[in-house]
Structure 1
Amino acid sequence: MRGATVPPGTVTPSPAEGAMPVHRLEVPRPNVLPFKIGAFQVYGPEAYADFPHRHTFYEIVHVTAGSGTHVVERERHPLAPPHLGVVAPGQVHHWEGVSGLEGTVILFTEHFLLDHLADRELLRRLAERPWLRLEGAAQEWAAALVGELQEEFRRGAEGFATVLRALLHILVVRAARSAGPPAREEGPPAREAGPGARPAGVAAEFVRLLAGGDPARWSVRACADALGVSAGYLAEAVKAATGRTPGQLIREARVGEAKRLLACTDLTVRQVAARTGVGDPAYFCRFFRRETGISPGEFRRGVPV
């Protein structure tokens, strides 16, 4: 994701009033490995921030002790360590009532996955059910792999980047196995989009674009242009891979973003409409009601959807 990293000490511009902060991964120089790992205590309170926010990078948390709640996309996950959790770029999360938190935080951008591009799909699946309870053998291999990642990163010996990617790949694959199979059979591993790309790869890249939370991308034409394919081919590829149209998935992304903003910020309905790419607040209210069955105000007041 463009702009996923920043130099250390970069002052992130304050979000507009009521908007959600976006955290970027700090790396010393553009050519430095976009990967970090350390204990919660090393990162400090930012590692368990109590306000809703997004990342431009992936975050894997290995929680070994503590109490409290991790909230991901408004779903609450009480701590009962050991856990392994995955937060994908664009997801909204925060921590509540944390006490005695111990464990390890692993941060990396999508660029870091260049040796194992198919891991993006596994991480997406894990992020959809982000709190994996570790028991028995799973507890042992998770602790061992996280420990090896920490040691390899600390030493920085020759070839350490390749070793880090290999260890992370094993961690992601084993976590996906422990989480169980997806609800429906997945297609072939995702590939970069562009002319000649397979439908499954185009569909995976389309879903990733929507997950970025940028309403400027929430049109079939904009997504097709970004992926280097025609709108017609995008529609065919997404329909073949997901059984749904790009328009349906775009509406779902728009509604999901609106729900996050209504639930996690103090933005007015007019501001929420603008930030989800709808210039007319009245149309936004009609759209939201049509998609959810209730008005934005009712949703904010906690009326069940």
Structure 2
Amino acid sequence: MRSTTVLRGTPCIAPPPGEPPLHRLELPGPGAAPFAAGSFEEMGPLSWTDHPHRHTFYEIIHVTAGSGAHVIDFARWPVRPPHLAVILPGQIHHWQGDRDVDGTLALFTEDFLVDHPGDRDVLRQLARTSWFALDDEDDTRIGRLMADLAAEHRQRAAGHESVSRALLHVLVVRAARLPEHRGGTGPSQVTGSAATPGSAATPGPAGAVGPAGPVGADRAAVTRPGALAEAFTRLTARREAVAWSVRECAERLGVSPGHLTQAVRAATGRSPGRLLIAARVYQAQQLLAHTELPVRQVAARIGFADPAYFCRFFRRETGSSPGDFRKHHRRHHQSLATAQPPA
């Protein structure tokens, strides 16, 4: 898997056919902390692009002005500031019809959470909602934290990395206290019965761009208490894992299928088999919505040799046929299978 960060000015890499553009976090120099914060203008035009893309990093956005919509995976959130948005690595998102969108962004990789590793799980929970409407009090609190993060990144005074990590931790904790969909501002065009990508119970984009190391790295991960379910989630986010069985996943993690099932069910309330199905559905949805690949090729990419069987599987899991899903979610003016991405 490609690195999560690049040095400023690194040439862009075109995605493989059928893959959405992958944006990596630019660093000002070797050894710089994998973190950036600032206004939309400071972060550059890619921060409000209308081209669907995904990141190797986390993104927290405090939206203070503008209109239009922000699409995260298949949920379309109307822009009615103030808002707070949380986007995980691997989630596909873009802006629609944005007019004078303004606010502050915080961008960071998982490595930046080293002082507060538990924040990763909190961010995954926040991504189940993704989009939070803020009242005046919360808007003021969040705005102050975001402004401080941007100032630390801009000024780079002594100890700015430690201060930024501490401020980010406070921001994540404060965000976790926010009520969901305050004021009735919810998404439209949400997918059907498939599990919500990025949730703790779904092996979707949350780990899709994390390090894809060898089997030994996976086994090392599960030696930490409570890490088996997380390791399974990251494992099933790999493109090649969509056709794996629970037994094959357990072998790669160095545990028995029974132990894996027990740990995953305890952590998520769902069986590994159901989560593997959810991962397969999610990858099929991404290919149908964001590429021009024929249905038979989509089926083949997620491990179905028989397109007809894939169609029955997809309808059973989502409530719609692959063709109907594509018509409803596709962006006709652009194919990510041929798009040339920015870095």
Superposition TM-score tier, normalisation by shorter sequence? 0.7 to 0.9
Distance across 2 between alignment mates of 1:300 and 1:36: 35
Give the AA of the match of 1:150.
A
The CA deviation string for residues 172-195 of structure 1, in whole angstroms up to 9 with x for no partner, is 100111136xxxxx9xxxxx9645
Distance across 2 between alignment mates of 1:18 and 1:2: 17
Contact in 2 for aligned 1:62/1:82 (Cα 8 Å): yes
Pair 1:95–1:79, CA change in 2 (3 A): same
Distance across 1 between alignment mates of 2:31 and 2:247: 33
Once the two structures are superposed, the pairs formed by residues 1-305 of structure 1 within 5 Å of their partners are 3-29=3-29, 31-179=31-179, 194-198=221-225, 200-210=226-236, 212=237, 214-218=238-242, 219=244, 220=246, 223-224=249-250, 227-302=253-328
User: Alignment partner of 2:117: what SS?
Assistant: coil
Contact in 1 for aligned 2:21/2:54 (Cα 8 Å): yes
Contact in 2 for aligned 1:215/1:254 (Cα 8 Å): no
The CA deviation string for residues 140-192 of structure 1, in whole angstroms up to 9 with x for no partner, is 11111111111112222222211111100000100111136xxxxx9xxxxx9
Pair 1:134–1:292, CA change in 2 (3 A): closer
Contact in 1 for aligned 2:105/2:146 (Cα 8 Å): no
Contact in 1 for aligned 2:222/2:228 (Cα 8 Å): no
The CA deviation string for residues 55-77 of structure 1, in whole angstroms up to 9 with x for no partner, is 11101111111111001111111
Contact in 2 for aligned 1:63/1:84 (Cα 8 Å): yes
Distance across 2 between alignment mates of 1:127 and 1:249: 17
User: Alignment partner of 2:177: what SS?
Assistant: helix
Contact in 2 for aligned 1:258/1:272 (Cα 8 Å): yes
Percent identity between the two aligned chains: 52
Q: Please identify, of 277-286 and 98-107, the stretch whose mean Cα deviation from structure 2 is larger.
A: 277-286
Pair 1:22–1:281, CA change in 2 (3 A): farther
Q: Which has the higher contact order (CA 8 A, sep 6+)?
A: 2
Contact in 2 for aligned 1:238/1:246 (Cα 8 Å): yes
TM-score, normalization by structure 1: 0.86
Tell me how large the CA RMSD over aligned residues is: 2.5
TM-score, normalization by structure 2: 0.77
The Cα of 1:94 is off from its aligned counterpart by 0.7
Pair 1:51–1:226, CA change in 2 (3 A): farther
Contact in 2 for aligned 1:126/1:179 (Cα 8 Å): no
The Cα of 1:23 is off from its aligned counterpart by 1.1
User: Alignment partner of 1:175: what SS?
Assistant: helix
Give the AA of the match of 1:197.
R
Q: Please identify, of 294-303 and 36-45, the stretch whose mean Cα deviation from structure 2 is larger.
A: 294-303
Pair 1:281–1:121, CA change in 2 (3 A): same
Contact in 2 for aligned 1:193/1:202 (Cα 8 Å): no
Distance across 2 between alignment mates of 1:9 and 1:117: 30
